[in-house]
Chains A and B, each alone.
Chain A
Amino acid sequence: AQSVTQLDSHVSVSEGTPVLLRCNYSSSYSPSLFWYVQHPNKGLQLLLKYTSAATLVKGINGFEAEFKKSETSFHLTKPSAHMSDAAEYFCVVSDTDMRFGAGTRLTVKP
C-alpha cells in the first residue's frame, strides 16, 4: 500500500522569501515521487519527478525537491517566491498507481 501526506493544507509566504511545501510518503516498494501544480480551473502541470536517480531533483520555475528515504520525505522548495507561484500543489507517490496528496495551497503576499 502506498500513501502520501502533505503536512500543510495552506502555506503563506511573502514575495521573494523561500517556499517550503512538505510531503511525506509511505510505500512498500521503491516509489516514484512527483510534484504537480494546479492553477485555478486549470489542469495539472508537472513540476518535477523523482524516479530513483539523483535524490535532489530540479524542476521547472526554480523549484526543487529532495528525496530522503530515511525520513520518507519529498519536500518541495524554492529559494524565492514569485506572485505567479500562488497555486495548489500536489505531492504524488507512485508504485503500483498514482496516489495524490490532499494538496497545499500556496499564497504569495506582495
Chain B
Amino acid sequence: GAVVSQHPSWVICKSGTSVKIECRSLDFQATTMFWYRQFPKQSLMLMATSNEGSKATYEQGVEKDKFLINHASLTLSTLTVTSAHPEDSSFYICSATPPGGPYYEQYFGPGTRLTVT
C-alpha cells in the first residue's frame, strides 16, 4: 500500500515552454503533498507543500509564479514549470501524506527527470 506515482518519468522540453508533472497517490487519499527538487549528486530540497483545496506554501527562494502547484483533489497534485530554462533541469520528486498521518509519514514518488534544452 501507500504507492505514489509520477508522470512523466522523464521529459525533455525546449527553453521557454511549460511542462506539467503529475503526482498521484494510488491507494490512499493524500491531504498533503510535497514537491522536492534534486540536483545531480545532491540532496533533496523541499520546494513547496500543498494541501488539497488550498494554495501551496512555497519555501523561501522558490518562485511561486514559475513553479505552479495545484492540488485539486485528494489523489492528484501537479507541478507546472512555466517558461522553463536550462537551469530548471533537475529531478523533481513528490511525496504524499495520508489523512491523519504525521507530516513526516511521507511516501515518495519515483521522480521526474526534466531536461530543458
B-binding residues in A (CB < 8 A): 32, 34, 36, 41-45, 49, 51, 90, 94, 97-98, 100-103
A-binding residues in B (CB < 8 A): 4, 6, 34, 41-46, 49, 91, 93, 95, 102-104, 106, 108-111, 113
Bound-state Cα–Cα, A100 to B49, Å: 15
Q: Do B110 and A100 touch (CB < 8 A)?
A: no
Q: Please give me the residue from chain B that is nearest to A101 by CB atom.
A: B43
What's the nearest-Cβ distance from chain A to residue B77, in Å? 15
Bound-state Cα–Cα, A52 to B34, Å: 24
* Chain B hits for A45, CB < 8 A: 108
Bound-state Cα–Cα, A78 to B43, Å: 22
* Chain B hits for A34, CB < 8 A: 104
Q: Do B111 and A43 touch (CB < 8 A)?
A: yes
Q: Do A44 and B42 touch (CB < 8 A)?
A: no
* Chain A hits for B109, CB < 8 A: 43
**DSSP class of A's interface residues: helix, strand, loop or mixed?**
strand
Q: When A and B form their complex, which 7 residue pairs have the shortest distance between CB atoms, in order from nearest?
A: A43-B110, A44-B108, A94-B104, A43-B108, A100-B43, A100-B44, A102-B43
* Chain A hits for B45, CB < 8 A: 100
Given contacts A42-B111, A94-B104, A98-B106, contact A103 B42 (CB under 8 A): yes
Given contacts A42-B110, A43-B93, contact A90 B44 (CB under 8 A): yes
Q: Do B104 and A102 touch (CB < 8 A)?
A: no
